[in-house]
Structure 1
Amino acid sequence: MDRTIDTGTDDLLARVERGVGVVVLNRPERRNALSPDMLTALAAVLADMEVADDVGAVLVTGAGTAFCAGGDVKAFAARGGEGGGTSAPREERARRQQAMQHATTGRLHAMAKPTIAALPGAAAGAGLGLALGCDLRIGCPDTVIATAFGKVGLSGDYGTTWLLSRLVGPSRARRLMFLGERLDATAAHELGLLDWMVEADALAGFALSTAADLAAGPRQALAAMKANLLDAQRCDLPDAMDREVPRHLECGVSADHREAVQAFVEKRAPVFGARVTEGP
């Protein structure tokens, strides 16, 4: 059943629609720049969606003409820089930001459900990190990708450097980070940073439909696939194969597998119904 989620702030909107947890970064007047309220709400909403039985996939997008411009530079200026405006020791500030990054980019990357970012416009700085943390990205002709950290004298956060290095390789990641090159949608698609490009007026519908197809899929198998893919980034082949086998066998005794086999015999589309509430 579709439902609206109270996030506690107008900076973030959330709902469940067609089995998809839809999250909307909602500061269009600031190109959806990250605010403390938005980040706190985003972390809480993602934690809830990760375990919600009625959520099979998560879709993150931005209101208006941008996905997310990253940190709010005007707010930085008002408090004398990103690290200003607080009397907390630097170590404490670092711990808080580390926790927030794990709860946002980290959760999108690791949760046992497919995650999708739909980019109606710019994804820059920390906003790019959030987009890259998702399993899949959908863009339109208005999409622009930029690291942007160097332009404000910062080195990068929200996993952007790590994710870029794995998606485009270390050499191109250096170029994008050091020079802050802006990639239009075509270049981002060719580089593999966008999985699909659709027309701007079709973006929202295509993204929701794609996420809904995933949400209606065999959730235990999808969770195991994601775990295998994450293992592939950190394991050698023998270790990865050893990790694959228990997951594959567990899927082999699942209700979804039995349904798929029966549907094949009956020459019909399978109707999956298993639910996953724990991470891989």
Structure 2
Amino acid sequence: MSEVLIDDDAGVRTITLNRPDRLNALTSSIMAPLADACADAARDASVGCVVVTGAGRGFCAGGDLKEGGADKAVVPANSEVGSRTEQGFVRLRTFMETSRLLHEMPKPTIAMVNGPVAGAGIGIAGACDLRFAGRSASFLTAFDRIGAGGDFGSTWFWTKIVGTGVARELFLLGEKLSADEAFAKGLYTRLLDDEALRDETMIAARRLADGPRMGYRYMKANLNNAEDWAFEAALDAEALNMGLSTSATAMIWREKKKAENPDG
């Protein structure tokens, strides 16, 4: 059974973590294909929007400590590959490309949070542009429970999304939030009844996939720049990207119109 499922529908690619019996907790056997799936979605021109979700009743419970998490397959230290710590860093950083790709790929990404999300799962959700959650969803950083600092970009994303004060509360106190509490803090973009979650998420995803893709490409670039760049540099990029996006969109519309009316 594949632990990462891929589905394409009208320009929307849905990537589903498929370990429902473990609330889609992460091991190396799921993290490697997940990163590959995100890389493929990023470069596939037929994909206009990416949705990430979990099978069963949860989004992602974080690393599966009972099965060794990311470090299960790390071999003993030797002079060619370094210490166990070095190898663990390389492996985890490779798996964490999932978060970078979801955040940086030039197309909108949506986390469809269909249940509990914790640990590395909040990094994956935070990496997405939008987070649509069902009422059965919950939110838990969980890193304090294992004496860990955080991974999958979780501390970076949530500081950017909700500000340093709320992010420090989430991570240091480690309190589990209900869907309503998480929505009130701004962690979720939309809160929906569980039975409506998939349909409403797909309506938004198809709208994005059918929209001006080059416009979204440069819009997302501007939004990402705004997180770190100085104001003047961001203005320069906005001015450049405005010209690039509108000219690209106009060309696409002209080609579409010509295809619809070749004799016109």
Whether the TM-score (by the shorter chain) exceeds 0.5 is yes
Report the CA distance shift for 1:241/1:29 in structure 2 as closer, same or farther (over 3 A): same
Amino acid at match of 2:215: A
Partners of 2:25 and 2:15 lie apart in 1 by 15
Deviation at 1:223, TM superposition (A): 0.5
Kept in 1: contact 2:107–2:216 (CA 8 A): yes
Amino acid at match of 2:60: C
Deviation at 1:127, TM superposition (A): 0.7
Report the CA distance shift for 1:254/1:37 in structure 2 as closer, same or farther (over 3 A): same
Secondary structure, aligned partner of 1:138: strand
Report the CA distance shift for 1:82/1:220 in structure 2 as closer, same or farther (over 3 A): closer
Match of 1:100 in 2: 95
Q: Could you tell me which of 10, 13, 19 is aligned with 1:18?
A: 10
Matches within 5 A, 1:57-136: 57-76=49-68, 83=71, 86=74, 87-88=76-77, 89=83, 90-101=85-96, 103-136=97-130
Runs of 4+ in 1 over 2 A off after TM superposition: 81-86, 254-260
Match of 1:220 in 2: 214
Match of 2:80 in 1: none
Match of 1:174 in 2: 168
Secondary structure, aligned partner of 1:221: helix
Partners of 2:194 and 2:109 lie apart in 1 by 20
Deviation at 1:85, TM superposition (A): 5.7
Matches within 5 A, 1:43-62: 43-62=35-54
Deviation at 1:83, TM superposition (A): 4.8
1:138-158 CA-to-partner distances (Å, cap 9, x unmatched) read: 011101011001112222111
Kept in 2: contact 1:57–1:211 (CA 8 A): yes
- Report the identity percentage: 37
How large is the Cα RMSD of the aligned pairs? 2.0
Kept in 2: contact 1:251–1:257 (CA 8 A): no
The TM-score normalised by the length of structure 2 is: 0.89
Kept in 2: contact 1:218–1:256 (CA 8 A): no
Question: Which blocks of at least 5 consecutive residues in structure 1 are unaligned?
Answer: 1-8, 264-270, 272-280
1:59-90 CA-to-partner distances (Å, cap 9, x unmatched) read: 000111100000002113xxxx8756632421
Report the CA distance shift for 1:82/1:254 in structure 2 as closer, same or farther (over 3 A): closer
Q: Could you tell me which of 235, 244, 249 is aligned with 2:238?
A: 244
Partners of 1:186 and 1:128 lie apart in 2 by 16
Amino acid at match of 1:243: A
